[in-house]
Amino acid sequence: MKLSADLQGFAARLGHDFARPELLRRALTHPSMSTPVRPDNQRLEFLGDRVLGLVMAEALLAADAVASEGRLAPRFNALVRKETCADVARSIGLGDALKLGRSEMLSGGRRKEAILADALEAVIAAVYADAGFETARAVVLRLWGGRISDVADDARDAKTSLQEWAQARGQNPPDYVEIERSGPDHAPEFTIEVRLESGEAAQGRAGSKRQAEQLAARGLLARLEESA
């Protein structure tokens, strides 16, 4: 069975011509849309997570022949975490190709970070199952592009770094407070403020609480570094 026009367009953006189109169709089928004859993408997501991890581990080792495990681990985590996968998914318009149930679609599922990230991992698995590891690796390296070479030496997420900054100075962990929620239910925007025991604070605004918290933490870290 041939791919529909929207899936053909997505396959072109992905850069892989599927010999078994049903693999891509399954990779883009969210559980809210699954039926006994239309399986969802969860098993593929499980496999794709492992394929992605191996590709990134190899790429980081190849890029730095002397880095210790302690330096490689935060870089690896930064490259495979949900935020990064969702960002890559957005760059190729994955959300537009997702097959979602009506309720999930109306609640803004095409923009949800976790759904995008899981679907991208499923797509990676679909490429692997369709054409093997070398092809999957080539697709992943092309999609991640400069993210691999530009990943910071200490690439832990901003919330973790801010918490460690506070603990090193004898402070309690930062508090994250929702200041505002705006926009329709299917496309909300959250404003989150992070506060330190010593009084410093910063805000972040994004389409998910998790991303807004990260932005707030990143902004506060930058301010703390400037004043150091």
Q: Annotated active-site positions, please?
A: 49, 121
φ, ψ dihedrals at 204, nearest 5°: -135, 150
Sequence-ordered alpha helix ranges (H) in 64-177 = 69-80, 82-91, 94-97, 102-106, 113-131, 133-144, 146-150, 158-168
Pairwise CA distance, residues 108 & 116, whole Å: 11
Tell me if 116 sits within 8 A of 36, measured CB to CB.
no
Which tokens in the block code for residue 128?
């692997």
Strand ranges of the sheet holding 201-206, from the earlier edge strand across to the other edge:
175-182, 189-195, 201-206
Assign 190 to helix, strand or coil.
strand
CA end-to-end distance (rounded Å), the chain: 61
Q: Which residues contact 162 (CB under 8 A, 6 or more apart)?
A: 174, 194, 217, 220, 221
How far does Cα 168 stand from its chain's mean position? 29
